[in-house]
Amino acid sequence: MAAAVGFLLDYGRRGVQEVSMSETNTELIPTTNSPPALDEGCLHHYQQFCVQFLELHPQCALFLDCGLGKTVITLTAIQHLMYDSFEVNRTLIIAPLRVARDTWIAELSKWRHLAGLRMQRVIGSEKDRIRALGERADVYVINRENTEWLVRHYSGRKLPFDMLVLDELSSFKNYRSKRFMALKKVIGQFGRVIGLTGTPAPNSLEELWPQVFLLDKGARLGRTFSTYIDLYFTTPNSWLPYRHELKEGAEDAIYKKLSDICVSMKAADHLNMPEKVENIVEVTLSAREMKLYKQMERDMLLPYADGDILALNAAVLANKLLQLANGACYDEFHNVRIIHDKKLDALEDLIEAANGKPVLVMYGYKHDLDRIQQRFGAYRPDCPNGVRRLISEQDMKDWCAGLIPIAATQPASTGHGLNLQSGGSTIIWYGLTWSLELYEQANARLWRQGQKNTVVIHHIVTKGTMDERAMRALHDKAAGQEALLDAVKARIREVV
């Protein structure tokens, strides 16, 4: 038998997503276009363990590294609960848009034992979504942006689902968000709730409460956010009422509370992961450039005759400084002010050193992309080797086919659910992010099972700037998350 020490749940979500694709019309999708190559016997032992865990725990969460197969695990459990034990009739899956559109249906078509499951994608226009909900199916997949709409659609009526799967549970970490508030109203209607994510607590344990509440309706961490804060946190500075610190022993107490419903696993423990090499490429500003940076840091203002770069508070300043570290910044009228080209020069060196191998460039702001494309050319039919954004499904296919030498994407739009490992093995972080979840998930697009080459992750860091603080913050958060994962990490053992 398998035994587990359970784990915890977290959800950290990105800011504005740069998803500019159109949503596909919904129709009943056949589960197979060609005979599936895999059957249930191909599941790894740890995957079989997770399937059993989901079946035995009506409310639970899986915190699995990218590549461990949480999608097929969940679909297998759904298939068993529907057609073996007959405990579930209809399942609702809420996921990021691209994952809802592509990932779940693609996984369904790979496995022979899942061929009987009927799936509807509830995306597209309102008319398309209503039509999809009216079709007969076992599993309905909707993108998280339409959570509030779904609840409104069934207003005054019980939702016709008895099982809920929250893919990328951290999407619900904000207890004030509309999607959380909408789901909170109806969460009691689901007999089973499963949360899935690969990044437990990317920023703070405070973010756990909304996610866990959707699992157990407050049984473990309290029925309200304020109760949770009062139990486990202190407010050391009265003049910063929203800044909380964990009480002594609170971290272990939280883990213990969640140990029975959450399982955590790391890919490196269960898969032969490819080697990963992380590299920091430092660039140095000239005296004039650093003077401008320091002036902005000190005065929260860089004056120009036709529009100033200004920051109204510390949070805005941090992002303005991150932009300046990249080489340019928006002024008050959203015009781009160019400060330096140091990162572009470093990027050029890295691309040249790749010697024709595909590279995936992570940028932070639109002006980063514009300047990168100005330097290296933008992709067009007459310029096939130019920098190409990964947006559409065709872009993803061309990348995976090795047809894109320089791809560019914003982490928030490529962070979850996309398997890009077959297209290349080099990531270049042109602009850093403050979000550990986005950072790890973006890297996991290439560093995952199936990658055949050593993955090299370059970080272009401007010395003496906010870049260094962002790298330090990512490192510190990763250390904290590592402690969290280790505290609740599932230990699977076979009893002979």
What mean pLDDT is predicted for residues 263-288? 85
Q: pLDDT class for 484, splitting at 50, 70, 90?
A: low
Q: Do 334 and 348 fall into the same domain?
A: no
Q: Do 399 and 420 fall into the same domain?
A: yes
Residue 8, in any domain of the structure: no
Q: Do 96 and 126 fall into the same domain?
A: yes
Q: Do 127 and 185 fall into the same domain?
A: yes
Asked if the model's pLDDT at residue 14 lies above 50, the reply is no
Q: Do 182 and 202 fall into the same domain?
A: yes
Q: Do 122 and 144 fall into the same domain?
A: yes
Reading the block at residue 371, the tokens are 């300047």
3-state secondary structure of 51: helix
Residue 430, in any domain of the structure: yes
Residue 314, in any domain of the structure: yes
Q: Do 309 and 169 fall into the same domain?
A: no
Sign of torsion over alpha carbons 30, 413, 266, 81: negative
CATH number of the domain that 434 lies in?
3.40.50.300
Question: Which has more pLDDT, 444 or 159?
Answer: 159
Its domain, for residue 257, covers 40-271
Chain centre distance of CA 265: 17
What mean pLDDT is predicted for residues 364-389? 93
Q: Do 392 and 260 fall into the same domain?
A: no
Q: Do 316 and 263 fall into the same domain?
A: no
The pLDDT tens digits for 79-110 are: 999 999 999 999 999 998 878 888 899 888 88
The pLDDT tens digits for 17-69 are: 222 223 333 333 333 345 566 889 889 888 999 999 999 999 999 988 777 88
Q: Do 56 and 195 fall into the same domain?
A: yes
Instruction: Report pLDDT for 480.
Output: 61
Q: pLDDT class for 490, splitting at 50, 70, 90?
A: low
Instruction: Report pLDDT for 15.
Output: 26
What mean pLDDT is predicted for residues 137-145? 96
Residue 313, in any domain of the structure: yes
List C-alpha distances in Å: 112 to 41, 42, 45, 72.
10, 10, 18, 11
Q: Do 125 and 103 fall into the same domain?
A: yes
Q: Do 161 and 193 fall into the same domain?
A: yes
Alpha-helical (H) ranges within 206-277 are 208-216, 225-232, 250-258, 267-270
Instruction: Report pLDDT for 6.
Output: 35
CATH number of the domain that 59 lies in?
3.40.50.10810
Question: Which has more pLDDT, 155 or 353?
Answer: 155
CB-count exposure of residue 333 (10 Å: 0-12, 13-18, 19+): exposed
The lowest-confidence range among 206-215, 265-274, 368-377 is 265-274
Strand partners, 361: 408, 428
Asked if the model's pLDDT at residue 1 lies above 50, the reply is no
Task: Count how many domains the chain has.
Answer: 3
Which pTM does this prediction carry? 0.66
Q: pLDDT class for 419, splitting at 50, 70, 90?
A: confident
What mean pLDDT is predicted for residues 482-491? 56
